[in-house]
A = this chain, B = another copy of it.
Amino acid sequence: MDALTINEAAETTGWSPRMLRYIERIGLLEAQRSSGGYRLYGPEQLQRLRTLRELLAQFDIGLGDVGFALRQRREQPLSDAIETWLEAEPAKPEGVESSDWLRWEQQKHQRLLNLVMEKNAA
């Protein structure tokens, strides 16, 4: 069972010790602890830390993004809600073409009426 302390781990993974603590703090990867409280990184953790770097660089995303992805996979309702919202998206409002748009605003009255109704409905 080999395990590196934070500075050693930092050196092998390319992260700074500061960032290793930060990464742990935002819930992305936590290290074992020695009885005295020292963080101890095993080979598996080290690998994951390196992979994480590649991940961020390759797609130009941030730690927060990965953190959010993690949250999504943990909070199903959140994931569902977002999924639902995005689902209604690909429907690029078709069927409303030029001919219709020609009188798109024939009378503001109607629109304002809707506006009011929507207000009351809310």
Query: How far, in whole Å, are A70 and B69 apart by their CA atoms in the complex?
Result: 12
Query: How far, in whole Å, are A114 and B68 apart by their CA atoms in the complex?
Result: 33
Task: Knowing A82-B69, A96-B42, A104-B1, say if A8 contacts B111 (CB, 8 Å).
Answer: yes
Q: Which of A73-90 touch B at CB < 8 Å?
A: 73, 75, 77-78, 81-82, 85-86, 88-89
17 A–B pairs (Cβ distance < 8 Å), ordered by A: A1-B100, A1-B104, A4-B115, A8-B112, A12-B115, A32-B96, A46-B118, A48-B89, A50-B122, A52-B85, A55-B81, A58-B81, A59-B75, A59-B78, A61-B68, A66-B85, A69-B82
Task: Knowing A8-B115, A75-B59, say if A104 contacts B70 (CB, 8 Å).
Answer: no
Query: How far, in whole Å, are A86 and B91 apart by their CA atoms in the complex?
Result: 31
Contact A96 B66 (CB under 8 A): no
